[in-house]
A and B are shown apart, each in its own frame.
Chain A
Amino acid sequence: MIKLENVTKVFANQETPAVKNLNLHIKKGEVCVLVGPSGCGKTTTMKMINRLVEPTEGTVYIDGKDTSTVNPIELRLNIGYVIQEIGLFPHLTIAENVATVPREKKWPAERIRQRVEELLNLVGLDPQVYGNRKPADLSGGQRQRVGVARAMAADPPILLMDEPFGAVDPITRAKLQNEFLRIQEQMQKTIVFVTHDIDEAIKMGDKIAVMRKGELVQYSTPEELLSAPANDFVAKLVGKNRSIKRLHLIRVDRVLGSNHNVPVVKKNTPVRKLEELVDGSEIGAVLVVDERDRLLGLASAVDIREAGGGVAGDIYQPLPNTIGVGATLSDALSVMLNYGEGYVAVVDKANQLTGIITLGFLLGLVKEDAA
């Protein structure tokens, strides 16, 4: 979707380049977070995507098209932009602010009105209440919401966000981040997100690009960043307690896969077959699901031995220790501790079993970090 190729930016009157020979490939629907200390070139990199800053060397491609051949106004109208301090127009109402890009695109008035209403609802601001207010009448958190709504007004496929949640208190920020993730889940935009806060980066990013002195130090998923920092700089940036951070920040659905050996059986599986399977189980039990993979419960080795015959559907016990796919690893750990069990089943909204997190797996993660 967005591709930066050997991009270098040297500002006039400066000897050292702000961005040095940068290569970055951002896939469609991905949130790419540019993170690093101030002056590392992350904002400059972002601005080269919508040509607010022209690269000295190299090329930026969007959808395979060299952006330097596209009219910058045209380019920017199709890229949402949220900046530090949001930059709302103080003389215009909230509704007029949100309507900026649709107005530039000359949408009919009625369509603009509907879109503004839809967006304000989306970001949780009642259009009747806030539409006619001025930015100065809103709290910091509300202004940030308006900023996001304004950037999404014309439904651009790409959003550029420069510390969009920087100017609010930590509680509001966490709330805005969660809301934003929820919106992104629906919208599936390609997002370039700039922040200096590594925790925010890990929380928001599908991919994280760590930058330092204009160079890309590491470009990887949050998990990789935490488990395998490329060098001392990255390790320092993510901090000493990164094992705990991983647990707090990584969602269970990101690590699900073949990380366990707990057998899962359909409810019509004969008990005889279960006897073989349960021996290989990490938790001394098998999980039982119905014909549509919805979690029913578990059958322990004892249950299986006592049953002697029949099918799995007759002998399972309900399983209380489950968590949703959106939970973090620390939520998983907390459930395990609450139930005194070394595992937790992960289910989606329809109660379909999507995986299992075991204590052994969590320990393994922590151990990797310690090594």
Chain B
Amino acid sequence: MARLRSSKGGNFLGLLVAACLTGTAFCQNLPLQSPTHPVPSSRTSIKPSSSKEQSTPSSASFVDVAHAAGIDFHLTCGGAEKRYIMESMCGGIAVLDYDNDGWMDIFLVNGSTLEDLQTKKCHPSRLYHNNHDGTFTDVTAKSGLTHCGWGFGVAVGDYDNDGWEDLYINYLDGGVLYHNNHDGTFTDVTAKAGVNNAGRWGTSAAFGDYDNDGYLDLYIANYVDLALKHLPEFGQGPFCQYRSIPVSCGPRGLKGGRDRLYHNNGDGTFTDVSEKLNIDPDSYYGLGVLWLDYDLDGCPDLYVANDSSPSLLYHGDCKGGFTEVGVQAGVAYSADGREQAGMGVDSADYDNDGWPDIIKANFSDDTNNLYHNDHNGEFTDLAGAADFGPVSIPFLGFGLKFLDFDNDGWKDIFVANGHVNPQVDHHSFGVTYAERLLLFHNLRNGKFEEIGMKSGLAITRRYVARGAATADFFNDGREDLLVSVLDGPPLLLRNKTATPGHWLRIKTVGTRSNRDGFGARVEVKAGGLTQMAEVRANSSFESASDPRLHFGLGAATRVDSITIHWPSGKVETLGPQSVDQELVLQEGSGASSNPGPKLPEKALKRP
């Protein structure tokens, strides 16, 4: 029988649709949203593996032992709907050896809820002592770390050079500096020290000695100036939307908090030099802080990841001043010159070319950055070329860390993810609120392979993860991971990777330099490979990691040499060393070479 067909049968609109599909007039009314995700802009050559080894496919293995280890912490951070911006930003964690027993302990910062904050109900942060047997004991009650508030990031550093790690914790309305009393207790010395960051909402903080005077200064990234009595209404207005659905407001549309830099006066007090040094003049939304010396001139530089605004790179001038060079250096924006939602940051020399590179976590629909150091004061985002970027597009990264999980001498990368808007779960955006963790294996040729899905159940599960820190908690020569999870218990991911790789761990003790040796650059030669690392505790997102440097040595059975560039300018070189051990290197105790040209006069006077 003859038939009169409609639309998709083919006669009439079938032709129209076919025309659409082949790109003619009707099609122009049906635009596809362009996947214009960022791509790398420029690069210099990636140094290939010096040993010409091809990286073998790696299977990492991480097991969550938090519960078994006695970590019974639960992170509280607002309500389940996350109606306000601060309810998504908790998660500070610190790894520190607070009692100097040689084993890394854990400090976990707690948040609060709006209601509990008003009624002064406390959600205490917790300090866990490492029992040296794979377990931890909650020693919070004894420690005196009892400040009641809505906590965020934490910084670790020995600000008074007494040989004991102190703590600085950011809260919604200021910060608290705890001095370590050497007996398992801490004393709140904020007022005396003058580092209260009063009324400001700090996120990450980091100790670093920017003027190389031998005392650690303190940088605090402030996020948003928030008035609790006038919180912006959920979903109301253009800055309270994500992909057209109502979500919590900000940070855009809210007033940014100006970061603070506190100079350590060397007498237990600090001076706020933010205005003097023109720190964060536009009050960007600060989230990640990283001290590094990107141009190897011996003077600390500072990189600050800002949310939804340009990130900042302060170049230290060796005279106690800074010049902000983020745009010129190529680390302020995405490769396309767009602001990114920068979260966590870290630095390491991933391609073993002797220069520190930078990684930064960003929002979903964007790629994380892998800023390759071009050795000329500029960086090139090689995230795409390195297979580090595109895979991160559906993920909202917060904490991220370089580590060498398989001890092969090439830095791998871990990224903790978790969205800020639980509302995304009600939509098929291709992003979810809870997200899996990402583990990137360094293939030694400038590229990474994301192997999270074959790294153990704990990695493959989904979490709303925030802070991330690395440490060798069990002193077994493997780098483990500590991850905070919003509204849940943390993950203590013990590294069980089957690896033949040897290792070396180095603890630095400054004498003329700051006692922690933060900012020291250490070069280790072994097995034909030279690795470089800088000493620091604070990086990632709101977190502090094991400050001991960990070098994977692969098959090398001895370390040929170690060279330390101390912040004081002193350079020391040690001869051959055994592998699989921890060395404590005290400034001045090794073979000394050049004293270094750029040591400020003041540093020489320090006892």
Binding between chains A and B: no
User: Which A residues fall within an 8 A CB radius of B?
Assistant: none
User: Which B residues fall within an 8 A CB radius of A?
Assistant: none
